[in-house]
Structure 1
Amino acid sequence: MSDFRLRVFAAVARHLSFTKAGHELFISQPAVTKHIRELEAQYGQRLLARSGSKVLLTEAGRLLLGHAEAVAASAQALDEQLHGLRDPDEAAGRLRLGASTTLSQYVLPAWLPAFQARYPRVQLSLLNVNSERIAEALPRGELDLGFVEGRSHSRDLHYELLLPDELVAVRRATPAGPPPTPLPLADALAHPLVLRERGSGTLEVLEFALRERKIKLSELRVACYLSSTEAIKGYLEAAPAALGFVSRQALRRELAAGLLEVVPIVGLALPRQFEAVWVQGQPLARPAQRFLSFVQERAKGLVEG
């Protein structure tokens, strides 16, 4: 059995917030503080440090977090094995997943066969819809678990980091190759732009970054809005003057084949996060719990690799 205080500490470390950790575990903020203080007293050193309004991990805290994650993974594996011994059919059930385009086309499909081999009784379906649609479908019970890639969060949903990502500017490959130096932002935005549709996490990240620079989408020369990354890549291959913004995860084949090339832009970094999402305060069904743990393991291996 794992120490509940380790779960509390791991939640604080994930969110870097006592309040958010309390919401996740359904305990009060004073209770969170009490558990952390008990751990610090037990180990005789600070695990967390405050810098203004921020919560930071100390070196001891980072060490303990690794241990806490290992304990949690071991406890979950034991729980699954024991439940499987008690009732093999409990490993069965319906699992309705919803994932935004980049995840559903370029990340999750490669992981699904191994999950199905481990849990053959789970009846799995994966719906490809944008982040906004997933946020609407989860509270209505149309999905069991979602995966999104935008910046907007609903207070009715719980979000958990899965994998970091980055959007990059891309164009049809040229004989000279990518620009030897990054393009000025104004020069890049003067191209005809091919963008994802409204409601997509990809467009939201770009729009937010431009807004910070006092630039509105309505001021840009947008050639068209398309509903999928594949459509954007196909358009760019046929339009040498155009520029699009695409996840690095979606470009591996085209870059390797010399069909498209990344165009660096001065002062424009577009990092984002892929996140798992489900209804706040609502426990995940066992198939969804299994899938979440499985993809978190895969994502961790991808980052470390």
Structure 2
Amino acid sequence: MAARPALFLVWFTWAMRKERQVLRTLTAERLYRRRFPEHRFVFMCNELEEVALFRENGLNALFCSHNALADEQTFKPVSGVENTYDAFYNAMISPWKRRHLARLVPSAAHVFYESRLTGRQKTADLLDELKRMMPAHHFLNPHDAHRIEKLDWQAINAVMAASATGLCLSAEEGAMYASIEYLLAGLPVVSTPSIGGRHIFGDPETWLTVEPTEEAVRDGVAQMKARNVPRERVRAVTLAKVHEHRKRLRACVLVETDGRVDLPDDYGHAVYRRLNNWQRGLDFERMLIDDYHSE
């Protein structure tokens, strides 16, 4: 592809509001395009603030969150399941995820994994501390001092079905994959204020932002639980927002390729959906290859 026209869509897994991050991206693009001038980039931003900053610095930016590419056929409401947990939190074991803010929630389910940056020993120590701090909470991944087993998406979906709300407690990250999984599964979300774009698929009916205190999180969970918004309603509101992003992506690709590439007008089509690599990435890639060869 070196000498052939190509369009690359780039998304970010962390907040990109800082000037130095944008300038680093700009430098990387310029260095790359010196070698491959036929290649172009669209940077898919998770927040409008990121879009503005990228464009101010001469980068081609699109407001299209990577969470708009989540697979709604994987994460969905499950009927007939009673709430066992007041809240559910799916996140790595790391201090910046601020799990301690959920300490006063009466019952919560935690799905977790190890951060390579934190390291095994620090992860084990922090996990032990959290379990002592929140003895009424359930830490669901099979684990010991040496390993944490990841749960598959079927198991995660089952836990969400038994939970009343989803928690998002970090102050800064990217769009947070778990946040869209909550919403697609029909869980209303209780979040602290954050930078990174996880809030954009929320709605006043389905998303509550509270102060980053243990008391505020506890009260927010109780409030969202009392609202009892139907899970299918949470999902429908979310999908409407997701489709807006997919529509912008389609329009962008059509313009950037001079009309040669037109993504499907069915915004639920598989081309707009992806899974994390640890879930089913290879199957998705095979499907796209098979579709391409059949045309």
Normalising by the smaller structure, the TM-score range is under 0.3
What's the TM-score once normalised by structure 1's chain length? 0.27
Q: Determine which structure has more spread, i.e. the larger CA radius of gyration.
A: 1
Q: Give 1 or 2: higher strand fraction.
A: 1
